[in-house]
Amino acid sequence: MADFFKPAARLDLIPPYLFKAIDDKKAKVKAKGMDIIDLGVGDPDLPTPRFIVDKMMEVVQDPGTHRYPAYSGLNLFRKAVARWYQKRFRVELDPGSEVLTLIGSKEGIAHLPLGINNPEDINLMTTPGYPVYQMGTLFAGGFCHFVPLTRENGFLPDLDDISPLVARDAKAFFFNYPNNPTAAVADKDFFARVVDFCREHQIIAVHDAAYTELAFDGFKPPSFLEAPGARKLGIEFHSLSKTYNMTGWRLGMAVGNREVLAALGKIKSNIDSGAFDAIQLAGIAALDSDQSCVRENCAILQERRDILVGGLQKLGYDVTPPKATFYVWLPVPKGLTSMGFTTHLLEQAGIVTIPGNGLGTPGEGYVRLALTVPKARLEEALARLKKIG
Task: CATH number of the domain at 318, please.
Answer: 3.90.1150.10
pTM for this one?
0.95
**Structural domain count, the chain:** 2
Rounded to an integer, what distance in angstroms lies between the CA atom of residue 206 and that of residue 234? 6
| pLDDT digits 0-9 by tens, 358-385 | 999 999 999 999 999 999 999 999 999 9
3-state secondary structure of 225: helix
Range of the domain at 355: 17-42+292-388
- Report the share of the chain in percent with pLDDT over 90: 91
- Say if 25 falls within a structural domain: yes
Tell whether 10 is covered by a domain.
no
Q: Residue 265: what pLDDT? A: 97
57 and 98, same domain (yes or no): yes
Q: Which of 269, 287, 305 is the last residue of a domain?
A: 287
Verify that 30 and 163 share a domain, yes or no.
no
3 state SS of 112: helix
CB 274 within 8 A of CB 72: yes
Q: Flag whether 124 is in a domain.
A: yes
Q: How far apart are CA 388 and CA 265, in angstroms?
A: 52
Phi, psi for residue 47 in degrees, rounded to 5: -75, 160
Q: Are residues 226 and 250 in the same domain?
A: yes
Residue 383 lies in a domain: yes
pLDDT tens, position by position, 95-108: 999 999 999 999 99
Does residue 353 sit in the same domain as residue 224? Answer: no
The C-alpha atoms of residue 160 and residue 47 are separated, in whole angstroms, by: 43
35 and 137 in a single domain? The answer is no
In a shared domain, residues 254 and 226: yes
Mean pLDDT, range 233-253, rounded to an integer: 97
pLDDT band at 219 (very low <50, low <70, confident <90, very high): very high
Q: Are residues 56 and 194 in the same domain?
A: yes
356 pLDDT above the threshold of 90: yes
